[in-house]
Structure 1
Amino acid sequence: MAANPPDAASPARPTVPAERCTRMEEVRAGIDRLDRMLVALIAERQGYIEAAARIKGDRGTVRDPARIEEVVSKVLAEAARAGLSPAIAEPVWRTLIERSIAHEFEVFDRLRAKG
């Protein structure tokens, strides 16, 4: 049975680099491809959040303000190197961190409730 050809949004199909886009379809295809990649990376990150919930022995250690600031600082440095605006990077990561902490609390509590 022949494989289905990749659709326009498939990571296998090359997209036009942003600086060469001339049509909105090209822009949207590039964004859609990147969104799929971001989802996969955030899902992988979530796995580490769940590992932290499993490893940490005390619920009080789930939120670590010093670690939050360390992560944001590293992200802003990397964003500067990559040409990502700090006005995008910082609020996106702070939201990601807060949602990750909330998820970690949920997993921490669920694991401890099982006994």
Structure 2
Amino acid sequence: MTTYTSDERRHTAETAASMTDVRYEIDRIDRLLVEIIAERQSFMDAAARIKGDRNIVHDRARIEDVVAKVKAECPKHGLSPAIAEPVWRTMIDRCIAYEFASYDALRLPAKVKS
């Protein structure tokens, strides 16, 4: 199980009093996002291993399902859907490209991999 690391949170958006405070928190959050996105990426490797057909790597219905779920979470957390949707669509697009590469790498003959 992944345990995320983080520097200590020093401020909230309401208590930050300087740009130094804001930048510290943004940098702290960005480091956490890298950890979380890396974990998400690891599941692209799992999907590439599990899926038996390259044609199902790109699944339009699943993409729309993921985006709909993300948008449904936005109001609960105060995240603008205008930020969330394009971020997730870009991430999904890049994850699909990664999964295609992972899928192909797993299935190349051993002699070609060398």
Structures share fold, TM-score greater than 0.5? yes
- Cross-structure match for 1:23: 18
Q: After the TM superposition, which residues 43-82 of structure 1 pair with which residues of structure 2 at under 5 Å, given as runs?
A: 43-82=38-77
Q: How does 1:93-108 map to 2 (within 5 A)?
A: 93-108=88-103
What secondary structure does 1:19 align onto? Answer: coil
Q: Which of 39, 60, 84 is equivalent to 1:89?
A: 84
TM-score of the aligned structures, taking structure 2 as reference length: 0.89
Measure, in 1, the Cα distance between the counterparts of 2:84 and 2:109. Answer: 37
% same residue:
57
- Deviation of 1:20 (Å): 1.1
Determine the C-alpha separation between the residues in 2 that align with 1:40 and 1:98.
19
Cα deviation code 1:70-112 (max 9, x no counterpart): 0000000011211100000000000000000000000000100
How far residue 21 of structure 1 moved from its aligned partner, in angstroms, is 1.0
Runs (5+) with no aligned partner, structure 1:
1-9
Distance in 1 between residues matched to 2:19 and 2:6, nearest whole Å? 18
**Partner residue in 2 for 1:113:** 108
Q: TM-score, normalised by structure 1?
A: 0.88
Mapped partners of 1:114, 1:47: distance in 2: 22
**Pick from 24, 32, 37: which aligns with 1:37?**
32
Aligned pairs, how many?
Answer: 106
Matches within 5 A, 1:8-19: 11-19=6-14
How far did residue 18 of structure 1 move? 1.0
Q: Which runs of 5+ in 2 are unaligned?
A: none
Q: Which amino acid aligns with 1:77?
A: A
